[in-house]
Amino acid sequence: MKLRVLTALPLALTVAWLIWQSSQWLFLLALVVTVEHGLYEFFNISRQAGFKVFPKVGYIAGGALCLAQMAELRRPGSFVLAVLLLTFLLTLWLALHLTEDLKQYLGAAATTVFGVLYVAFTLCWLVPLRFSEPLTGRNLVFLLFIVIWAGDIFAYLGGRIFGRTPLFVRVSPKKTVEGAVAGFTGSMAVAWVFTRWVWRAADLETTMVLAGLIAAAGQLGDLAESALKRGADLKDSGTLLPGHGGLLDRIDSLLFGTPILWLAVTFKELFK
């Protein structure tokens, strides 16, 4: 427990500083580094599960997606879609040349593209969330992170103290219904405090709806990453963060929460 706190605290402070104080390019650099390492861990999981992958394609595509989002802030276009299309076509072409056994062709191509979508495409939406409207964006992205963090903390503590009923044994034997409820409740409580005392200009009802969507999506993201690791017979995605495991183990909820928040904000604007 002590090691988890010692690792998490400086990391959380760094993330908070990046959200509130950093320039666009420093934020982008931190995001690209996160995406690249997340892809590295995903490809390791994939290999462990028996899939051939093309990591260089994934790394290039991951960085390009983040840059494309930044480019669209300055000149709206279809840069993100273009990167995805190029990634898809390039992966299929490379797979033809690099896969000796054609029985591996589909798995190799699909796993590589899925990795880009799962890690890079989901996280790259942090760029428009944070910088499309800078003042609102700071609060939105901070809300996203504190809801995810609160969910993880309260789910961990609630599961250890009250956990009795297994949530999804086939995917994660240690996760419990009580832990999930505690995580969701903690997320909502933290969102309420943040809105009442920090983001006072925000509509409380809207913020709580967003927080509920983030919290629910975060728990699904946690289960999805657990399923990937279990399929590869792995306990952790890596060893980068002492006491926590790999980077993916810490951002798995964010991979679902980020695009869900972006979709919710986008649909809200459409139906104003």
pLDDT tens readout for residues 156-183: 999 999 999 999 999 998 899 999 999 9
Nearest to 199 by CA among 122, 154, 147, 148: 147
* Structural domain of 52: 2-270
Query: Would you put residue 243 in left (φ > 0), alpha (ψ -120 to 50) or beta?
Result: left
Distance CA 140, CA 246 (A): 26
Residue 42, C-beta contacts closer than 8 angstroms, at least 6 positions apart:
58, 115, 118, 119, 228, 237, 248
Residue 234, C-beta contacts closer than 8 angstroms, at least 6 positions apart: 45, 48
pLDDT in tens, 245-268: 999 999 999 999 999 999 999 998
Q: What is the pLDDT of residue 176?
A: 95
| Predicted confidence (pLDDT) per residue in 113-160, tens digit | 999 999 999 999 999 999 999 889 999 999 999 999 999 999 999 999
Report the domain count for the chain: 1
Both tokens assigned to 109:
């191509």
pLDDT at 1 over 70: no
Percent with pLDDT over 70 in the chain: 99
Q: Which pTM was predicted?
A: 0.95
